[in-house]
Amino acid sequence: MDKELNKTDPAVADINKSEEERQLETINLIASENYVSPAVREASSSVFTNKYSEGYPRKRYYPGNEYVDEVEELAQKRALEVFGIENSSWAVNVQPYSGSPANFAVYTALLSEQDIALGMKLASGGHLTHGHKVSDSGRYFNFIQYGITDDGIIDYGEVEKLAKEHKPKLIVVGTSAYSLKIDYEKFSNIAKNIGAFLMADMAHIAGLVAGGQHPSPFEHCDIVTTTTHKTLRGPRGAMIFSRGDELAVKVNKAVFPGLQGGPHNQQTAAIAVAMKEALAPEFKKYAEQIVKNAKVLARELKNKGYDIISGGTENHLFLVDVTNKGMSGGEAEKLLEQAGIIANRNTIPNDPRKPFDPSGIRIGTPAVTTRGMADVEMKKIADFIDRALKGEDIEGEVKKLALKFPTPGFE
């Protein structure tokens, strides 16, 4: 395939080659990124990309979909098995193009325009699609936002107070920059007391849930959404799990024909492959090492005088307030990238700075764990981060470490 790309479009081939080298030679600490296996990449570029398949298995609007049906049903079956909910009342839709449209599909399935919902503040570690005003989720629906306590913990008391006051039809629980475990039972009790639906967006922690490293939302929620490309180590896609036939029908109609046309069948095939990989015993060890690596890295940076939000981490990521080091998050991001360390700037709770150049950086360990790095390497990376932010030229050392742990397919 690379030979064909080189022959047909050398310009794109050269750019692709450069990206391969960048990924291979840098240390990736983006919490929402990972590396897929060669098998997932192969499925992502399979002949399924040639087929149009509006509808759902056995109910398509085009002929010639018998094998598309097979691979979609296989992806659904494996997804339910990954989270231990096979042979239950749960159903799963594997067609959403990505996480944001998956969340919006749920909202359109359950809410009318300007209906009230609760979601976590972006500045407290939530996600844009949980009702932020710059997102259509906040424009078309009336989201009330909850936050965290001074200790950096989700303010369950505030959630309960807002729920009783505003009587939302939906409560959304999920984060993109929160380092502690989520108590789904508390959210469930609050939702039940006011008769609201409870939706968990586990996009960031899905692989940890699958690997037994984070409490599962399925016992307590009505709807669960997730991307497939973060800790699950799959292609860029998403899934929506629904409890019971009634919700499943509403969600399916919201995805198609509500928001989407034909699914990306090559993406569905790749999800099926990723779900098989997540069912392997090795995946649980991988999930365990992700959390262990995050804890070690956070501890080492804390020992070097960095301010770790919430004091540490219980999952795959943590936030660092770098202002006590005399810089902004944007400045830290640039210094790290110059050294070959990729980590994004991020707001911290009650951040006095603007979002484009906030006070913190977000650090995650899924990608480096995929490459086989462990405790020893986390200590080295903490040292690299500290030295890079002091302005030392360590790009060569970073590259040398990265090359010792090749990305999948380059071993």
Catalytic residue set: 52, 54, 201, 227, 230, 236
Work out the angle at residue 290's Cα, subtended by the Cα atoms of residues 285 and 294, and round it to the nearest 5 degrees: 145
Using alpha carbons only, give the angle 291, 296, 297 rounded to the nearest 5 degrees. 100
Distances (CA, A) of 175 to 40, 47, 124, 155, 410: 26, 35, 9, 13, 32
Task: Output b/e per residue, 63-85; b: 16+ Cβ within 10 A.
Answer: eebeebbebbbbbbebbbbbbeb
Q: Which of 231, 107, 229 is nearest to 169 (CA)?
A: 107
Beta bridge partners of 363: 318
Tokens for 282, please give them: 């090795």
Contact residues for 270 (Cβ-Cβ < 8 A; gap 6+): 36, 40, 41, 43, 44, 46, 234, 235, 237
Looking at the DSSP assignment, which residues form a beta bridge with residue 56? 59
Cα distance between residue 165 and residue 168, in whole Å: 9
Three-class SS of residue 320?
A: strand
In this structure, are residues 238 and 99 in contact, taking their beta carbons and an 8 Å threshold?
A: yes
Q: How far apart are the first and last CA of the chain?
A: 19
CA 183 to chain CA centroid, Å, is 18
